[in-house]
Structure 1
Amino acid sequence: MVAQGFTVDLNKPLVFQVGHLGESYQEWVHQPIVSKEGPRFFGSDFWEFLTRTEWWVIPLVWLPVVCWFVSKSIVMGHTLPQITLMVVTGIGVWTLLEYTLHRFLFHIKTKSYWGNTMHYLLHGCHHKHPMDGLRLVFPPAATAVLCFPFYNLFKLISTPSTAPALFGGGLLGYVMYDVTHYYLHHGQPTSEVPKNLKKYHLNHHFRIQNKGFGITSSLWDKVFGTLPTSMPAEKSR
């Protein structure tokens, strides 16, 4: 691919190449290469290893953490119905965060060298190589760093006894999101709801990339008017 006189060599590590595309980066990154063989990101084997994560690592690492946070609110005296409500609320908060991050951060327009480079690492690589199974979920080390500000946010907007269960619910929502995202790319659903959700998400990748930002649900796309017009609302669950 040639852009602004620069050629991206797909046979070499990509991360420090894509920044040179400048304003042409947006066009390049949204021309997907449909292959299960992922590209090499870095020349360093150590940094390359950190970019690859099996999908099952996400529930293995984070579900025990979810249980620990929820148990903290139980120990502080909350009843099962209260805990259930807090966890469901946390999941709901996550779905809005999922939509917001995907729409406004993951699809931010960049053209500078470091802007393109960071966008490629964050989300651009997924649009360029959407079937790369080892880069579909977020590496746990990066998630752990992000957990600190989000937990403090929950503590700020709630009470000491409800914050853990709310955060646990939000973290559970994240786990559901990541494993669902993997399944939408590599699973073969047979029932109507997951089949429509897979169609909805792949429509975002291969047809209308500036609409359909929900992954686990099209709810917020309906609320904020980013539902793809080519897909009827009742078929986009």
Structure 2
Amino acid sequence: MVSAPCTVDLNKPLVFQVGHLGEAYNEWVHQPIVSKEGPRFFTNDFLEILTRTVWWVIPLVWLPVTSWLMSLSFRKGLTMVQEATVVIAGIIMWTLLEYTLHRFVFHAKTKSYWGNTLHYLLHGCHHKHPMDALRLVFPPAATAIIALPLWTVINILTTPSVAPALFGGLLLGYVMYDVTHYYLHHGKPSRGLTQNLKRYHLNHHFRIQAKGFGITSSFWDKIFGTVPSTKAAEKY
């Protein structure tokens, strides 16, 4: 007797359902539901609150940290020119990290119960409900967990004066990324760079999700050959 394929009840908390989709999860999660009403993740109200973050929390939390890191490098001996150079290097480092995480982690194909569940929490929920404004930016606690090993590696590989500015630049790049990402979904640019970025990113969501991994720029997509085709990138 062949068992019926698992289905997801959108009227119930989703997180502990999606794992049961198995190999069907990847197809399901890339069929977006365009609604400003976000789904419920958990039955528990406290866990549910932890999944929701308003966009302005990101600069509110991380820009003071970035400023402190930059001042620390200055106090440790970097000149203004040196610090500016290191911070720019950190921002460039972030753009590569942004691309790498998006392509190889956030778009990893999963089929196990916990693999599907973790993927849905990290990024799958965003593709399933791309207009959910409260699950578009990364919660600060989750960012801190990811940032800690990066800070450790930078400390090991660089000098005490360079490390804070470099990490500060990387963190500044992240803030720019997350607020840009929010704007590309909920802003209404009429022309220029932001309009092109919005078109490029929404193309990734609604047309060709296996390419177009850059958010703040298409630079690394061009380097690694993941720019969507011209036809897929037409204005819509």
Structure 1 position 155, deviation (Å): 1.2
Within 2, Cα distance between the matches of 1:232 and 1:196?
Answer: 14
Q: Which runs of 5+ in 2 are unaligned?
A: none
TM-score, normalization by structure 2: 0.96
For 1:28, the aligned partner's letter is: W
- 1:91 is matched with 91
Structure 1 position 71, deviation (Å): 0.5
Structure 1 position 4, deviation (Å): 5.2
- 1:218 is matched with 218
Q: CA, structure 1 residues 231+172, in 2 after alignment: closer, same or farther (shift >3 Å)?
A: farther
Structure 1 position 190, deviation (Å): 2.1
Structure 1 position 77, deviation (Å): 1.5
Provide Cα deviations, 1:168-197, integer angstroms capped at 9, x if missing partner: 000000000000000000000123110000
For 1:31, the aligned partner's letter is: Q
Within 1, Cα distance between the matches of 2:148 and 2:56?
Answer: 23
TM-score, normalization by structure 1: 0.95
Q: Could you tell me whether the CA contact under 8 Å between 1:4 and 1:22 is conserved in 2?
A: no
1:49 aligns with 2:49: yes
Q: CA, structure 1 residues 231+165, in 2 after alignment: closer, same or farther (shift >3 Å)?
A: farther
- 2:182 is matched with 182
Moved more, 201-210 or 72-81: 72-81
For residue 168 of structure 1, give the secondary structure of its aligned residue in structure 2.
helix
Q: Could you tell me whether the CA contact under 8 Å between 2:34 and 2:131 is conserved in 1?
A: yes
Aligned length: 233
Provide Cα deviations, 1:146-184, integer angstroms capped at 9, x if missing partner: 221011111122111100000000000000000000000
Within 1, Cα distance between the matches of 2:56 and 2:48?
Answer: 19
For 1:62, the aligned partner's letter is: W
Q: What is the aligned-residue identity percentage?
A: 71
- 1:149 is matched with 149
- 1:102 is matched with 102
Provide Cα deviations, 1:73-108, integer angstroms capped at 9, x if missing partner: 000121111111010000000000000000000000
Q: Could you tell me whether the CA contact under 8 Å between 1:4 and 1:24 is conserved in 2?
A: no
For residue 7 of structure 1, give the secondary structure of its aligned residue in structure 2.
coil
- 2:191 is matched with 191
Within 5 Å, give how 1:8-19 maps onto structure 2: 8-19=8-19
Within 1, Cα distance between the matches of 2:77 and 2:5?
Answer: 65
Structure 1 position 230, deviation (Å): 2.1
Within 5 Å, give how 1:121-132 maps onto structure 2: 121-132=121-132
